[in-house]
Amino acid sequence: MSFSAVNILGTMPEIYLTFFGCVLLILETIVPKEKRSWLGYFTILALVFAMIASIGLNGKGLPLYSGLYIIDPFSNFFKITIYVGAIITVLFSLPYLEQEDIHHGEYYAFILFSVVGMMVMVSAGDLITLFLGIELMSLCFYVLVGLKRESHRAVEASFKYFLLGAFSAAIFLFGISFLYGASGTETISGLAAFISNPGSLKPIVIAGMILTLVGFTFKVSAVPFHMWTPDVYEGAPTVVTGFMAAASKIAAFAVFLRVFWVAFSGNRHEWDILIVLISILSMAVGNVVALLQTNIKRMLAYSSIGHAGYALMALLLPNRESLFALLFYVFAYMFMTLGAFGIVLMMRKKGVEGEEISDFVGLHKRHPLAAFMMLIFMFSLAGIPPFGGFLAKFYIFYAVVHAGYVWLAVVGIIFAAIGAYYYLKVVMAMYMREPEESVEVHMTPMGKIGLALTAGTTLILGIYPAPFVEYIKSSLALFVP
């Protein structure tokens, strides 16, 4: 492996963010507590700086470090999407951390380090590099989930996430060892060449594929490896929950595509039945159990499980149409999910967060703007036009039908109809019931900017998606499944 100028320049965005994260750890000890909001602005500046560097690399199609790292339009699409999600998260974080009295400077450093982990994930050219990216992201989230150090619920959620994440990592590494033992390589391109050869399909290869699938399904919160999701989403600070639900899931689907569409494409018939089962179970469990929730964070947690099921359908189809549908879906999902959690974290009842669906009763009379924003996000998540969530589901179901899986599309539509009920339940609480308790909405200027970005993009994706469609299609230029 050579550390040439090309290799170093190709990874400058990751180097920038790592450097800025270390600087934030130092500044945290210097900056007074009352001025720590400046650390948030510094974080946004660092993310913008890295985004500009990534845009400059777009379209290069560079295999770096002897193929261990890949810079191409596909990875840059996910990186830029993650940058935007992180910037919106920091905008929401500035007032939220003050209100919750958890404005610790290391929070912003761990946000940047987690973004670096996601960047390594989406550009990984081999499974060991991919594992390092997953663990860097996960270790940061273990800390961020337990940010409320005095909250037993947050500490419990962090501990659960850590334990289950450790099991997931071990299983994933076990799968890598099987694949390496059979093929003699852990690079994605090398595995693709090995598995495409006749006679390469052996029990050890199938076992390796199944074990890596377990690791990925844990990260995307798919059934049956979803049990951590509701407890962690509920216990974590709401701003961290939103970032986990949006950005980390996007990175996980990126590596899902890279591994299963490239490395394992030669044995698609061996794993597509597993994807079908996981997809159907995720849609069923996510949407049905969400109906029973009264806590909106748990409801959105089970909702995310259902959305993982919709997205997984696109993995079955060996064509660019389904690949585009999946990228559009995760892109739209990030904005509507971040926006929904952004409204939740602004709700305050007697000095604490208003997390119950009952806290939204009569919200349109107390705060019409917040109610309207939440309506946009709920309608979009339910797949109701004219919002981005409708087109996202439409593209997925269209690709599934076009590939001949009509029955699977029907199953997905049925569960989507079931899922619409619990989203509309929130809308009905806001607009069709009289307020019972005084719940305040603390909407600060930074929060308004974050909501404007999420709600505006969600609306534009449904009304005029053409620029985003062209951008997503251009990101697939060098991606060959």
pLDDT score recorded for residue 413: 92
Asked whether residue 124 carries a pLDDT value surpassing 80, the answer given is yes
- Whether the CB-CB separation of 442 and 99 falls below 8 Å is answered with yes
If you search the block for the tokens 């469609």, which residue do you land on? 469
pLDDT score recorded for residue 186: 85
243: tokens are 């970032």
More confident residue, 265 or 27: 27
- Mean pLDDT across 206-234: 88
**Torsion, CA 175, CA 261, CA 409, CA 399, rounded to 10:** 170
- Mean pLDDT across 5-9: 74
Asked whether residue 71 carries a pLDDT value surpassing 70, the answer given is yes
- Whether the CB-CB separation of 443 and 369 falls below 8 Å is answered with yes
pLDDT tier, 98 (very low <50, low <70, confident <90, very high otherwise): confident
pLDDT tier, 266 (very low <50, low <70, confident <90, very high otherwise): low
List the alpha helices (DSSP H) in 347-435: 363-366, 368-382, 388-402, 406-431
DSSP label of 441: E
Nearest-angstrom CA–CA distance, 477 and 472: 9
Give strand ranges (E) for 46-92: 62-64, 69-71
Nearest-angstrom CA–CA distance, 416 and 420: 6
pLDDT score recorded for residue 199: 67
pLDDT score recorded for residue 7: 73
Nearest-angstrom CA–CA distance, 454 and 440: 21
Radius of gyration from C-alpha coordinates of the chain: 21
Expressed in angstroms, the distance from the first to the final Cα of the chain is 26
pLDDT score recorded for residue 209: 87
Q: How confident is the prediction for the chain on average, in pLDDT?
A: 87
pLDDT score recorded for residue 27: 87
pLDDT score recorded for residue 136: 93
Q: What is the largest CA-CA distance in the chain?
A: 68
- Mean pLDDT across 3-13: 76
89: tokens are 């998260």
DSSP label of 310: H
Q: What is the pLDDT of residues 159-178, one digit of tens each?
A: 999 998 898 899 999 999 99
- In this predicted structure, which of 316-325, 371-380, 389-398, 445-454 has the lowest mean pLDDT? 316-325
Phi, psi of 370, deg, nearest 5: -65, -40
Q: What is the pLDDT of residues 132-142, one digit of tens each?
A: 999 999 999 99
* The residue type at 436: E
Half-sphere exposure (CA, 13 Å, Cβ side) for 258? 30
pLDDT score recorded for residue 350: 63
Nearest-angstrom CA–CA distance, 227 and 185: 33
- Give the count of beta carbons closer than 10 Å to the beta carbon of residue 277: 13
Nearest-angstrom CA–CA distance, 356 and 378: 15
Asked whether residue 480 carries a pLDDT value surpassing 60, the answer given is no
Asked whether residue 364 carries a pLDDT value surpassing 90, the answer given is no
Nearest-angstrom CA–CA distance, 39 and 43: 6
Nearest-angstrom CA–CA distance, 62 and 71: 5
DSSP 3-state assignment of 442?
Answer: coil
- Give the count of beta carbons closer than 10 Å to the beta carbon of residue 267: 17
